[in-house]
Amino acid sequence: MAATWVFVEVLNASPRNAARIRRAALFAALSMAAAWVLGGYWYVHYYSPEKAMILKGPWPFAHNLFMETKEHLFFATAILAFLLPIACREELYANAVARKLVLSVSAMVVITGLALEGAGAVIDHGVKVALLRGPGKGN
């Protein structure tokens, strides 16, 4: 959401909103850092039992494809989010190339972030169907 905020602000970049753009970009990066630490803590400490459940259930691809992709694609989203405040140090209202860069980076944070959310929903459902249908009952 913070990356969407940056995107919209940069579409209307001017000297008046330059400081606000930098604050929004920093907020996006800090939010991503918080997601990394908090989500990472949960993943490292609590995901293993759910992984075992998913793999024994009717939707093993929820882990084998979606979680495996998600846990690694997350780093790309995070690196892009950390790039945002650095790219926003330029005077975006006067620099078309820098403006295009920030628009592209913020859009990619949003798109890959939504893909991660979608993958999370599939993983969550993988656990639910495993609990509902029990292990080893197939599709």
Partner 1 sequence: MGFSLAAALTILLNTALAWAKDSYAPLNSFMKALTGHHWTTHGLVDLVVFFGLGLVFMKSPWIEKINPARVVPILIGSVVAASLGLGLWYVFF
Q: How far is the CB of 104 from partner 1 (least distance, A)?
A: 5
Give the contacts of 123 (CB within 8 A, at least 6 positions apart).
Answer: 50, 54, 62, 63, 66, 67, 70
Q: How far is the CB of 100 from partner 1 (least distance, A)?
A: 5
DSSP-derived secondary structure for 59-128: -THIIIIIIHHHHHHHHHHHHHHHHHHHHTTS-GGG-HHHHHHHHHHHHHHHHHHHHHHHHHHHHHHHHH
Q: How far is the CB of 64 from partner 1 (least distance, A)?
A: 6
Token pair in block for residue 98:
């820098």
Footprint on this chain of partner 1 (rule: CB under 8 A): 36, 40, 43-44, 64-65, 68-69, 71-73, 75-76, 78-80, 82-83, 86-87, 97-98, 100-101, 104-105, 108, 112, 115
19 or 44: CB nearest partner 1: 44
Q: How far is the CB of 69 from partner 1 (least distance, A)?
A: 5
35 or 132: CB nearest partner 1: 35
17 or 64: CB nearest partner 1: 64
